[in-house]
Amino acid sequence: MNRFEHLPEFERELKRLAGKYRSLPDDLSRLEKILVLNPMGIGTNFIIIHRQENIIVVKTRLACNSLKKRSIRIIYAHNVLAATITYLELYYKGDKDNEDREIIKEYLRNL
């Protein structure tokens, strides 16, 4: 698997947060290297929040070098049949407590 896609909401947040946290693009590319080998992630930083027949939605903590000991949350959907990962949401835990379930529902409706 080597196909990564993203929703417009994710792209907006990435652009906004990358201006604030300069290491974010590099941190994201490190995550992608992990996801290429294991789309469900490795360890306790990856939590399945929704499972459908061919779609698995995962929430992960992305260690951001600019944030020192804190992390950014990323919600992504792994499409098993198409072998793609679609980034749904990106947020800093200090700004927002939980993921936006409406973004996930909307993505699943549009499949």
Please work out, in degrees rounded to the nearest 5, the angle formed at the alpha carbon of residue 79 by the alpha carbons of 34 and 37: 20
Domain layout of the chain by residue ranges: 3-109
Within a 10 A sphere around the Cβ of 60, how many other Cβ atoms? Answer: 20
Contact 9, 17 (CB under 8 A): no
How many residues are there in the chain? 111
Token representation of residue 10? 């994710």
Percent of the chain at pLDDT > 90 equals: 68
Residue-wise pLDDT tens digits, 43-96: 888 999 999 989 999 999 988 888 886 789 999 999 999 889 999 999 988 788
- CATH for the stretch 3-109: 3.30.2310.20
Q: What is the pLDDT of residue 1?
A: 56
